[in-house]
Amino acid sequence: MIPAIVLALAAGFGGADQYLGSFSAHPWMADVSLLSAPWLAIAFLAGWTQTSPRRAATLGLACTGAALAGYALMTLSPIENAHLTTRTLSGFLYSERPVLVGGIVTGPLFGWFGQLWRVRRARLGAVATALTICLEPLIRVPAHREIRSMNVTLAEIGVGAFVLAYVAVAAHGRTALASDSA
């Protein structure tokens, strides 16, 4: 897939994530928009489109940046009753420092994980991504940032468990294929 398309999709994801959180009439939507695991999945999927580890890590980082840019543009847009100015952008960057630093680390890492899964060299990255999705609701508890909606919690755990099961089945299929060809 063309990196420009992947970057545009990532930016759209970031903007949509911010917009989803603005629906105060549906508090569960804010819970969905505050999930971290989908952001890691964006980098994983971006990396999955690449054949080289370096390109995958670079695209994972770029997609994380594009998603954060989309998120920032939506946050500072008239749709959110805000305006993009130097001052509001500076305030956004300051308030989102932990997210930005985290993205510098997780974007390339999960991009690389996606590429490893694509070339079928390693399951580690796919398992790490699935476990991140599955365990996020539990990891948030000690930080006092629990997901308020039980439906969102169960859905995220379910998606993570589904991805883990998929990885296990796909890995078993590869093992069976390798032993059949030997």
Mean pLDDT of the chain: 88
User: With bands split at pLDDT 50, 70 and 90, how would you rate the model's confidence at 110?
Assistant: very high
Kindly tell me if the per-residue pLDDT of 171 is higher than 80.
no
The mean pLDDT value for 137-164 works out to 91
| Residues with Cβ within 8 Å of residue 27, at least 6 apart in sequence | 148, 149
Q: Using CA atoms, how far apart are residues 170 and 127, in angstroms rounded to an integer?
A: 12
- CA distance to 12, 31, 145, 158, 177, per residue, from 161 (Å): 26, 19, 22, 5, 24
Phi, psi (deg, nearest 5) at residue 175? -65, -45
- CA distance to 54, 84, 149, 162, per residue, from 138 (Å): 32, 36, 13, 17
Kindly tell me if the per-residue pLDDT of 10 is higher than 60.
yes
Distance of CA 134 to the CA centre of its chain: 13
Q: Using CA atoms, how far apart are residues 61 and 164, in angstroms rounded to an integer?
A: 24
Kindly tell me if the per-residue pLDDT of 9 is higher than 70.
yes
pTM of structure: 0.83
What confidence tens digit (pLDDT) does each residue in 60-80 have? 999 999 999 999 999 998 888
Kindly tell me if the per-residue pLDDT of 178 is higher than 60.
no
Helical H segments across 21-78, by residue range: 27-33, 37-48, 53-75
The mean pLDDT value for 157-177 works out to 81
User: With bands split at pLDDT 50, 70 and 90, how would you rate the model's confidence at 2?
Assistant: confident
Paired tokens of 44: 């994983």
Q: What was the pLDDT predicted at 12?
A: 94
Q: Which residue has the tokens 């840019």?
A: 69
Kindly tell me if the per-residue pLDDT of 22 is higher than 60.
yes
The mean pLDDT value for 153-164 works out to 93
User: With bands split at pLDDT 50, 70 and 90, how would you rate the model's confidence at 46?
Assistant: very high
Residue 48 burial (C-beta neighbours within 10 Å; 0-12, 13-18, 19+): buried
The mean pLDDT value for 93-107 works out to 92
